[in-house]
Chain A
Amino acid sequence: MIYPLIKKQFLLVIRNRRNFTLLLVMPLVLVFIINFAVGDLWQGEAPVLEGKLAIAEHGDEEEDLERIKREIADIPITDDQRNLVLQRIEQFKPIHILKTQVFGSDDLKQFIQLEEVSPEQIDILKKSGEYAAILEVPEGFTYHIIMNMFGVQTEKPAFHYYINEDKDFTAGIVMDILAAFEEEMKVNMLFERYDLQEFRVSSQDIQGSVVTVSKTNPLTSTMYYAVGMSVMFVLYIASTIGTYAYEEKRIHVFERIILASSSRWAYVASIFLTGTLLSIIQLFILYGVGSVIFKVNWPNINQFLLITLFLSMSVGALSTLLTAINYRTHSEQASSVFSNMIVSIIAFLGGSFFPVHLISSFIEKLGNLTPNGAAMSAYLTSLQGYGYGEIGNNLLYLIIFSFVITLIAAFIFPKRGEVA
């Protein structure tokens, strides 16, 4: 009984060129355009960490060490104590460590090239913009560090930095490494001064390296918008079916269906199933094309199928609701308002246009209460390789949404005697 109703609905939708364009061509074109427009700005794509760091020393670390040795020779201590201090000083060359063990490490030197320059070149280098950052080491830096370590109050040693704002990502990384290095110097000064050698931090601990924060797959703008556009355009199925159903009533075909003793519930069920099946087909086509053209591939195909099924059921439920309202109000206004206004609003809330969590967590929560938003969260989570636990809430919401909306639709749908 329901099969001919569904088959007829499919034929009607497929034969309408406008529908075909709206439901299949438009989302793909939009993914192309948006991806082209915002691809480079997309946060999910790892920016290139590559740049040059210039280091300009006003003094000479070896000279600083010689100076310290000379001054220690004049201090009235035993030879054993002097030898111990000299031994420690030989092991502690902060600028050397910075150049060889930090920026010279195998992990970091593939990303950041350290170049030694003379202080006179600094102004020229600043203007050239070639370097992500320039580090200026003041005269007597090592001398003051070591003297402070041994409790001799001299000048407070500090680096001078110049940051290239055009290369702020690499510069930021360099700054973080230098800040950590300086912090270690200060800590070591304190440990040395109060003789807490066992707590000393090794310079190895501050070596920079680039690691992935989590083991999940990073999201690209293509992935985001392939999902965003698909979950948005699948909603148009609901308004399309609602419009067709109202047209059936307007031209009295619905009366023929009723006269054939088809129950109203069979009709409502056919609307739900048609909406669900058309949505599944649309999403399969969009993601299929997305996989071939945009290389958006799903790490867990079962999760993908499950999300697609539940989202499609939500669209089926919306189709029945719009049909019921159209029948109740004797107009196709519900479908028009839905397709012209509501789809755009809930697509915005659901994050189809951009990640709404960047605006506020409230909008993000609100977005997850829309079927497209809930499905989008689930799809994106799945694309990142998370498990069922992370998408469970979204799936549960989609099921509840489908059930409640279908129930409301059944309640609204006019009973016999109410149709004028």
Chain B
Amino acid sequence: MLEVVDLKKQYKQTRAVDGVNLFLEEGEIVGLLGPNGAGKSTTISMMSTLIKPTSGDVRYLNESVVKHPQKLRENLGVVPQEIALYPELTAKENLEFFGKIYKMDKQLLKQRMEEVFQLIGLENKKKELVKHFSGGMKRRLNIGAALLHQPSILFMDEPTVGIDPQSRNYILDTVKQLNKEHHITIVYTSHYMEEVEYLCDRIYIMDEGKIIASGTKQEIKNILSSEQTFIVEAQSLKKEFIERFKKDGAVQQLSYSENKVTIIVPKETNYFHTIIQTVEEEKQELKSVEVQKPSLEDVFLHLTGKALRD
């Protein structure tokens, strides 16, 4: 449906996007993850025809949108990270304005406004000035403005930044609903890993302008599947007990505190047995042993060396 081929963007000395390749299939939700400055927003801007790439191409239904942006624009809705609304206008006036610039027929616009207000749960707030809205309500209207012209593709750039958990859940459910019921293809960028895990079928991880990993949630997690993590907890850890693991060549990483030690070993090792044996031999009192599965957060940290919210 949409394909990004070796996309690059250079601003003077800075290469914001450096050879990004990705694709989008109809009806899926794709997550785009990356720390601040990774190049996500620039990539989204190029994909949505707002800025021209330095090189590379974005193809929609096998046609270059760099040369012919019209077709994609007609079918694209963009929810920017910022609240792209007029605070001095009412919710209705805002949607009316965005509908009119899409040259929507008066009757259709009226009908779509009703549908969108219902979808975003602001039916009773139509006539209120946007500047009097809460953060969550503004975010919902921000999404509504992108849906008015019934796009088949939706780019959502961190649409839940700075809002309360209740509004956030509402938006996440709305995104699911848009995808499942209205069959809208969605590209979703977020700082919140759990949002991406909850919503997305496939994920691209970006860092320093490049895609450093991509695949389904499971494929991404499998990047870390060659390792397994054990967390051993006790009332008080003996020095000798920790020394045994330090000296063990099978241990790849070890970190510990007064009552907890984290041990990373190759997946194929049956290390649970080794831990229990060491506990018995060193007469270490034991509280618990936890075997931890890798999360997307772990993968992200593993690939970029940065926490996602950095």
Contact = CB atoms under 8 A, between A and B. Distances in A.
Interface of A: 1, 3-5, 7-8, 11-12, 15-16, 251-253, 255-262, 416-417, 419-420
B82 interface: yes
Contacts of A258: 50
26 contacts: A4-B96, A4-B100, A4-B101, A5-B101, A11-B89, A11-B93, A12-B88, A252-B80, A252-B84, A253-B85, A253-B86, A255-B50, A256-B80, A256-B146, A257-B101, A258-B50, A259-B48, A259-B50, A259-B73, A259-B76, A259-B78, A260-B73, A260-B98, A261-B73, A262-B101, A417-B52
Contact of A251 (B11, B82, B100): B82
Nearest to A261: B73
Contact of B86 (A12, A416, A419): A12
B163 interface: no
B242 interface: no
B192 interface: no
A416 B76 contact: no
Contacts of A252: 80, 82, 84
Contacts of B101: 1, 4-5, 256-257, 260, 262
A3 B97 CA distance: 10
A102 to B, nearest CB: 72
Contacts of B97: 4, 7-8
B84, B89, B102, B146: residue with the most chain A Cβ atoms closer than 10 Å = B84
Given A1-B101, A260-B101, A420-B11, 20 more contacts: A3-B100, A4-B97, A4-B100, A11-B89, A11-B93, A15-B88, A16-B88, A251-B85, A252-B84, A253-B85, A255-B50, A259-B48, A259-B49, A259-B50, A259-B73, A259-B76, A260-B73, A260-B98, A260-B102, A261-B73
Interface in B58-77: 70, 73-74, 76
Given A4-B101, A261-B73, A420 B51 contact: yes
Contacts of A11: 88-89, 93
Contacts of A12: 86, 88-89
A393 B173 CA distance: 66
B73 A256 contact: no
B119 interface: no
Contacts of A416: 49-52
A255 B73 contact: no
A335 B11 CA distance: 26
A9 to B, nearest CB: 10
Contacts of A3: 100
A251 B85 CA distance: 7
Nearest to A415: B52
A1 B100 CA distance: 7
A261 B93 contact: no
Contacts of B89: 8, 11-12, 15
B103 interface: yes
B145 interface: yes
B102 A417 contact: no
A420 B51 CA distance: 7
B223 interface: no
A251 B145 CA distance: 14
Top 4 closest A-B pairs, CB basis? A417-B52, A4-B100, A252-B84, A260-B101
Nearest to B87: A251
A293 B84 CA distance: 43
Given A8-B86, A8-B97, A417 B73 contact: no
Contacts of B86: 8, 12, 253
B73, B76, B101: residue with the most chain A Cβ atoms closer than 10 Å = B101
A260 B77 CA distance: 9
A12 to B, nearest CB: 5
A5 B97 CA distance: 8
B303 interface: no
B83 interface: yes
Contacts of A5: 101
Nearest to A250: B82
A186 B83 CA distance: 90
Contacts of B74: 261
Contacts of A1: 101, 103
A338 B278 CA distance: 78
A144 to B, nearest CB: 87
A261 B78 contact: no
Contacts of A256: 78, 80, 84, 98, 101, 145-146
A4 B103 CA distance: 10
A115 B50 CA distance: 89
A252 B79 CA distance: 10
A232 B52 CA distance: 41
Interface in B160-211: none
A5, A12, A15, A260: residue with the most chain B Cβ atoms closer than 10 Å = A260
A255 B80 contact: yes
